[in-house]
Amino acid sequence: MKSNRITEKFQELKASGKKGLITYMTAGDPNLETNIEIASIMESAGADLIEIGIPFSDPVADGPSIQQASIRSLSKGITMLQIIETIGKIRQRVKVPLIIMTYYNPILQYGLEKFVVDAVLAGVDGIIVPDLPFEECGQLFDFTDSAGLCLIQLVAPTTTDGRMEKIFSRSRGFIYCVSVTGITGIRNEINTDLRSLTARISKYTTLPIAIGFGIGGPLQAGMVAHYCDAVVVGSALVDTIAYAKDSQTMLIQVNSLIKDIKTALS
């Protein structure tokens, strides 16, 4: 598969001895136009990759914060086509890799091949489909590989070594390591033995490892970063976007949170 921005970004981070920060927002929350501004702020504040979640009515991997963001977005009647068009506008504003996180049903409804083609045209570099088992990824892998799009795989503390080896045989971009068993959301502490988990992952792949689920702020991000190449911060940013008193305050707070996390990673 040809090189893409995700591969290049992780090569750049490794060469400079830095840890990456992957930030998340839900498309359509608070609205699509503001998503463009948020992405721009995320990049300027130090995000290395940006993950954009497609709202879905049954988000099995998501905790309360992202579930509520999905509900707010869906209540506006936002479509996949509108989201992809917005991502195209985001791509005009930012240079960092863009990743779509979506459940399988919205892709299926849109059409697998059409989704991949339109995503690539919009400037998307990778996709994550948390409810699609590796064994059922075959057709989507065929489309993403030929288009140069990374279909990023998730592994959890419960994933066996044998299954890891199988999953990594077709993994692209980076490995998304779920730090806890369960749904997304801020945790007071992460009890998983991340050292042994990431050591197991590294036995079977040379791909970079990003750790997500449960990272609430700078302190946790700094601690988790010892065991990986990048950290993913989702719910903390989604809450910042949701609870700010107005749009301008929200952008300032998003900027501040990302800068604080980047400082903790350095």
Annotated catalytic residue, options 29, 43, 51, 239? 51
Q: Is-contact 101 53, C-beta < 8 A?
A: yes
List helix spans (H) across 111-213.
112-122, 138-147, 161-168, 194-204
Annotated catalytic residue, options 62, 118, 229, 239? 62
Is 62 an annotated catalytic residue? yes
| Residue with token string 């869906």 | 74
Is 135 an annotated catalytic residue? no
What span, in angstroms and rounded, lies between the C-alpha atoms of 210 and 208? 7
Closest CA to 156 of 213, 222, 76: 213
Q: Is-contact 34 26, C-beta < 8 A?
A: no
All residues at 6 or more sequence positions from 201 whose CB lies less than 8 Å from its CB, including other chains: 155, 164, 168, 175, 177, 209
What span, in angstroms and rounded, lies between the C-alpha atoms of 50 and 137? 23
User: Which amino acids are annotated catalytic?
Assistant: 51, 62
